[in-house]
Structure 1
Amino acid sequence: MTLAISGKTTIVTGAANGIGLAIARHFLDRGAHVICADIDEARLQAEWGDAARDENGPVRLFTGNLCEKLTAANLLSAAVDAFERIDILVNAARVFAPTPDPLDPSDTGLDEMLAQNMKSSLRLAQMTAKRMIAQAEKEERSEGELGSIINVSTLAGCRNQPQLLNYSIACAAQDQATRALAVALAPHRIRVNGVAFASLMSASLQVALKENTPWRGAIAEGTPLGRIAAASELVDTVQYLASPGAGFVTGQIVTVDGGRGLLDPVCVPAY
């Protein structure tokens, strides 16, 4: 089984911090060409500025709001301009917000969670797939895989926690979009998979723990492996799904949660 991704052009969204940053760094270390995309330009520059200064190097930066269709199109154009093709897309950008009152019908939080965590990644995946198909036609490539798309999600998508109502719905919607796209793109030789994490130190969990210190112990106790994992412990799974070693894997949501889902501690937020 080969996990090689060297030379592959990879777009990673949410690459300025947390999980997206860990994935982008890992792919770069494994020889991939990486387009690091994020809405936070200052943080993106702080993390990647030195690496991106080499115009002939393997890193490019892209800043913009990917909820906007034109911005997504510009991201794909930037990737092709830099490296001539797109092989892998990792949708790792996520926005988290609790639901103050799950019984409030005037709450607009669901619209934001769907737009940020599902609609934008779905549109980018669709647009990326079209690019992959077009480049294969240009190359007259009739055999072999055209590309791989990985959507990062969380265990919240299959857990029922009122305080995470909007976020949970968005995660579940993204997981279903992953499965549906996998079927739609299979005839085009593009694989689509997801990675659902929990008990992992994401950027949103770091913020939440500052405001709710007792959660750290509760999350660790609710996880069979007894700890909160580092973001870097997710990256090998993402690489596997992007690599030829997973060539017959599509439509799957791979869970990386330290066994958290086996216990389903309802009182513990599913980050």
Structure 2
Amino acid sequence: MSFVVTGGGRGVGRAIVERLAADGGTVVVVERDRDGLAWLPAHPAARRLLPVVGDAADERVTGQAADLAERAAPLAGWVNNAAVFRDAALHTAPAAEVYDLIGLNLRPAVVGAATAVRRFLAAGTGGAIVNVSSHQARRPVPGALPYATAKAAVEGLTRALAVEYGGRGIRTNAVALGSIATERHAEFLAGQEPAEAERVTAELARLHPVGRIGAAAEVADAVAFLLSPQAGFVNGVTLPVDGGRAALGLDPEAR
């Protein structure tokens, strides 16, 4: 089986790529930043990890990724993970800028889903799509309006795809992530004074009922399940992978 993972070079995306490869799959890794693919040649499964450098919002790029995947093995799954973390406030930025930022996070999911659906239908094999969302789709935090709006749309897209194509053998689900330990998170903490880094770590533990943030490998486990035949009757679901953060619903701004 083959899979495509967008934004697969770092963080959660890389963990998903490595998990699917460990399960024996061939994985096409779409990454905008070439440096984010530098680890592929040294990986034990390097022969089954196929890089594509480009923007996941570009249909030419996703088409190239699908071609590579299908040449290697039947395309079984597609993961829309690519994301952009930039903010703009409606009261200070032009509305068009905010709208464009929403599109930066929504468009890759739409383009990836379109490519996956067309290939699954053409092959007649069906398949599975997993969209990566966030707890912010339902419980936004201040300073992330474009991102939270886009992720809410991604979850709506997930349900619509599930209804539209479920009867044709294509399942679509999403994972809504809490705070996850990634390179980006580690870099953020490293840029803080030790006392502030300790405070942030304690605050994140408070927001998640399990008492810690998640590991990228834990997200990968959930995604691998949703892509697998074991999830054959799971369709149109947004699965929180957040340690209970959404269920607890604490306001991170409250003291």
Q: What letter matches 2:210 in structure 1?
A: L
Query: What is the match of residue 247 of structure 1?
Result: 232
Measure how far apart 1:161 and its partner are.
2.5
Counterpart CA distance in 2 for 1:104 and 1:180 is 33
Query: What is the match of residue 190 of structure 1?
Result: 170
Range with bigger deviation, 200-209 or 146-155: 200-209
1:221 lines up with 2:206 in the alignment:
yes
Q: What letter matches 2:64 in structure 1?
A: N
Query: What is the match of residue 97 of structure 1?
Result: 86
Measure how far apart 1:13 and its partner are.
1.1
Q: What letter matches 1:231 in structure 2?
A: A
Query: What is the match of residue 103 of structure 2?
Result: 115
1:175 lines up with 2:175 in the alignment:
no
Counterpart CA distance in 2 for 1:180 and 1:221 is 34
Q: What letter matches 2:41 in structure 1?
A: G
Q: What letter matches 1:22 in structure 2?
A: A
* Shift in CA distance, 222/191, structure 1 to aligned 2, threshold 3 Å: same
Measure how far apart 1:37 and its partner are.
1.2
Q: Could you state the TM-score of these two structures normalised by the residue count of structure 2?
A: 0.89
Q: Which runs of 5+ in 2 are unaligned?
A: none
Query: What is the match of residue 157 of structure 1?
Result: 137
Counterpart CA distance in 2 for 1:155 and 1:40 is 26
Identity %: 29
Q: Which runs of 5+ in 1 are unaligned?
A: 1-7, 137-144
Runs of 4+ in 1 over 6 A off after TM superposition: none
Q: Could you state the TM-score of these two structures normalised by the residue count of structure 1?
A: 0.84
Q: What letter matches 2:34 in structure 1?
A: E
* Shift in CA distance, 68/30, structure 1 to aligned 2, threshold 3 Å: same
* 1:31-78 superposed Cα distances (whole Å, 9 cap, x missing partner): 11111111111220x210234996xx3221111112222222222222
Counterpart CA distance in 1 for 2:201 and 2:101 is 24
Counterpart CA distance in 2 for 1:105 and 1:43 is 31
1:20 lines up with 2:20 in the alignment:
no
Aligned length: 249
| Alignment RMSD (CA, Å) | 2.2
Query: What is the match of residue 71 of structure 1?
Result: 61
Counterpart CA distance in 2 for 1:37 and 1:267 is 33
1:10 aligned counterpart, secondary structure: strand
Counterpart CA distance in 1 for 2:214 and 2:9 is 19
* 1:202-256 superposed Cα distances (whole Å, 9 cap, x missing partner): 4443344345634322111111111112111111111110111110110000001
Counterpart CA distance in 2 for 1:129 and 1:268 is 40
**Conserved 8 A contact 2:26-2:73:** no
**Conserved 8 A contact 1:199-1:220:** no
Find 1:135's aligned residue among 123, 127, 145. 123
Find 1:49's aligned residue among 36, 41, 59. 41
Measure how far apart 1:15 and its partner are.
1.2
**Conserved 8 A contact 1:200-1:231:** yes
Q: What letter matches 2:74 in structure 1?
A: R
1:72 aligned counterpart, secondary structure: helix
Counterpart CA distance in 2 for 1:193 and 1:94 is 17
1:34 aligned counterpart, secondary structure: strand
* Shift in CA distance, 92/268, structure 1 to aligned 2, threshold 3 Å: farther
Find 1:61's aligned residue among 51, 74, 81. 51
**Conserved 8 A contact 1:132-1:147:** yes
